[in-house]
Structure 1
């Protein structure tokens, strides 16, 4: 990397999960395998509706023999409320931890950061940074590292086909397999049942996906969030989000594959030219 920098994720909230039944409790709710979450190996996972629709995504790590969930503030209240509902008589204690700060590091150097709980490569993709959790609600000074705006992080995610879910997915509407989660280490296909598992597995094994997300670069012209993407006056998709000269689109797999196989750019209305990344 040419520049060493970090990005603070000030939108993160943290939930501690304690109690004898904590692992079994989470195993029946999340899309990944909680037993793969070790002291030195956090996991990425999702929470779905019984109909298999996306409700939230998060990271889980171990701290003092407890599980801690990092989740975006957009999903925090709803997710915590649902945990309390599913808890029933399980020996589980849920607590909002307000003393953790989350940052993302982009560097090949080994920086020591005061009060670090854990530092790990993002399990979704290797080149989208190292996540660092700091046991301090105030970010300590980090020498020799430039702080970048969060929009830079969103661009990095988009270029790697990793959705920034608060912007890119619709709660209780979006499906994991249409949004590349099967390639982000978010789903364990061998674990037992969890909420939404039957629908998700059926879509995978019966090849029911007809559309999915693609990342494209704007070569020329102007296109905005929500715009339709049409080929020969036929709508094949739409723009989900945009960061600088990059867009994330939901497209017909058949139409996208034809363009990719022909190694051509996507041209819209003779004025917008897009290139698949």
Structure 2
């Protein structure tokens, strides 16, 4: 919040803050100067501030990183402990809080940011959301690692997190160069195996390494895959730690 909040974020994040309106959220990321993903989040207007909807695990680190850039900007960066986020596939009543369609993908449904005490917390709500997200092949948070994956390799352009028409932001130069030169040869893709996967394990097609598992959720996960090598491996079995796995390209990519 604060009088400089919009300008402050505009100079930092990948999306165009000028497009943020009541009822219209944005997906965006904060990158390293080298263009790699540090944090991804949703932005919404409400409660007299710009609300940042991020994973709980990244919240404190994100606040600390934003504070590093604050300098003399008239902004307040603080957690809102009294607020919670509810994700669902139908639009809830607007009186429950700030309601918006998930800007990444319509199939992810709607999100509500509202008073923790007033938002319903259905049993298994969190697992239902993550199951849906994994089915759709949409990465978030820890799926990107920390300063490991370039914005375009992570699919942030396809998930509407990057505005190539806006001015400068942290990591903009390399991101724009990759876009215009078409040098994004890797993508973060869903991977699934018959049993529990392990992170930081190579994906191999015969003698060739085609990628590496980055994050895991039981039998599912995300792997950073070389697209040319995946294409060359078409029809060949793909393995992780000697176990056969499947790698798919989401319909939105």
From the CA coordinates, give the structure whose radius of gyration is larger: 1
The alignment's TM-score, normalised by the length of structure 1, stands at 0.79
Task: Report the CA distance between 1:273 and its aligned residue.
Answer: 4.8
Consecutive unaligned residues of structure 1, counting only runs of 5 or more, are: 1-16
User: 1:249: which partner in 2?
Assistant: 223
How many positions carry a matched residue from both structures?
A: 248
Matched, 1:138 2:131: no
After superposition, the CA RMSD in angstroms is 2.5
Consecutive unaligned residues of structure 2, counting only runs of 5 or more, are: none
Matched, 1:18 2:10: no
In 2, distance between residues paired with 1:268 and 1:44?
Answer: 33
In 2, distance between residues paired with 1:271 and 1:84?
Answer: 44
Task: Report the CA distance between 1:99 and its aligned residue.
Answer: 1.4
User: 2:248: which partner in 1?
Assistant: 276
Matched, 1:215 2:195: no
Task: Answer yes or no: is the 8 Å Cα contact 1:227–1:238 preserved in 2.
Answer: yes
After TM superposition, list the pairs within 5 Å mapping 1:110-189 onto structure 2.
111-112=92-93, 116-134=96-114, 136-141=115-120, 146-166=122-142, 168-189=143-164
In 1, distance between residues paired with 2:136 and 2:165?
Answer: 26
- Deviation track 1:150-203 (CA, whole Å, cap 9, x = no partner) reads 33322322222211322x122122211111111111110000001110011111
- Deviation track 1:59-108 (CA, whole Å, cap 9, x = no partner) reads 1111255312122233222322232232222222333322111111124x
Tell me which protein shows more strand as a share of its residues.
1
| 1:140–1:117 distance in 2 versus 1, CA, 3 Å | closer
- Deviation track 1:12-32 (CA, whole Å, cap 9, x = no partner) reads xxxxx222x221111101100
Task: Answer yes or no: is the 8 Å Cα contact 2:195–2:218 preserved in 1.
Answer: no
In 2, distance between residues paired with 1:223 and 1:60?
Answer: 32
| 1:76–1:224 distance in 2 versus 1, CA, 3 Å | closer
Q: What is the SS of the residue equivalent to 1:235?
A: strand
In 1, distance between residues paired with 2:123 and 2:19?
Answer: 32
User: 1:14: which partner in 2?
Assistant: none
